Amino acid sequence: MWKYFKEIITGFWSLCVGMWIVLIHAFRRPVTVQYPYQTAKIPARYRGHIQLKFDPATGKPKCIVCMACQRACPSACIELDGVKPEGATRKELTRYQLNFTTCSLCGLCVESCNFDALEFSREYNLANRDKETYRKMDLLTYRPTHSVAAADKRWSDQVDAGNAKSHALTGAATKTESTGKEQQP
């Protein structure tokens, strides 16, 4: 008989704890992002699909067709070709295709590139109804909408602004200690 009442009391306690949690969270701001109109903050180390880096002076890709990325890829999703023009000292890239449907985003291709010609993109919204779009992504003609350097600069500016704000607050606290008067920030 005691076991029966113990289960009733335990169940009622569990119900009260659950309702308390619901009551606490009912008055907080929602965490949901209204997607088409707002976007979530992307972490600084987010790794999207790979993309080629282009030389700003010439507008040509930095890739010298050494095939290190293709050899390092465990998914075998990178295909590239190049031609060496007459009188040139290095090959020029003619085709760089990524099969994003099989890419595991491991990063071995980016790490193996000795010429800093590959990077991860910051694009996260790659939704499409056609699978063929990602089966043969031509990275020579693909231009990112979000520059990694610009995203890193925005990130460092936000961090610097946050640090400046915290330094200003600690500086105000130091001034208060030296004058001996309490100030409210």
Cα dihedral across residues 123, 125, 131, 133: positive or negative: negative
Q: Would you say residue 135 lies in a domain?
A: yes
**C-alpha distances out from residue 177 to 51, 163, 168, Å:** 53, 21, 14
Q: Which residues neighbour 22 within 8 Å (Cβ) at sequence distance 6 or greater? A: none
Q: Is the separation of the CB atoms in 52 and 62 below 8 Å?
A: yes
Domain ranges, residue 83: 50-143
Contact by Cβ (8 Å): 101, 84: no
pLDDT in tens, the chain (185 residues): 889 999 999 999 999 999 999 999 998 988 888 877 888 788 888 888 899 999 999 888 999 999 999 999 999 999 999 999 998 888 999 999 999 999 999 999 999 999 999 999 888 877 788 888 888 888 888 765 555 555 555 545 544 554 454 444 444 444 444 444 444 44
Alpha helices in the chain (DSSP H): 2-26, 68-72, 108-112, 132-135, 148-179
Residue 66 in any domain: the answer is: yes
- Give domain status of residue 117, yes or no: yes
- Residue 156 has what pLDDT? 53
Quick check: is 123 in a domain? yes
Question: Count of CB atoms within 10 A of residue 59's CB?
Answer: 7
Q: Is residue 1 part of a domain?
A: no
182 is a domain residue: no
Structure tokens at 105: 């985003």
Q: How many independent structural domains does the chain possess? A: 1
Residue 25 sits at the vertex; the CA angle it makes with 24 and 29, to the nearest 5 degrees, is 125
Q: What is the reported pTM?
A: 0.59
Q: Contact at 8 Å (CB) between 53 and 119?
A: yes
CATH code for the domain in which residue 87 is found: 3.30.70.3270
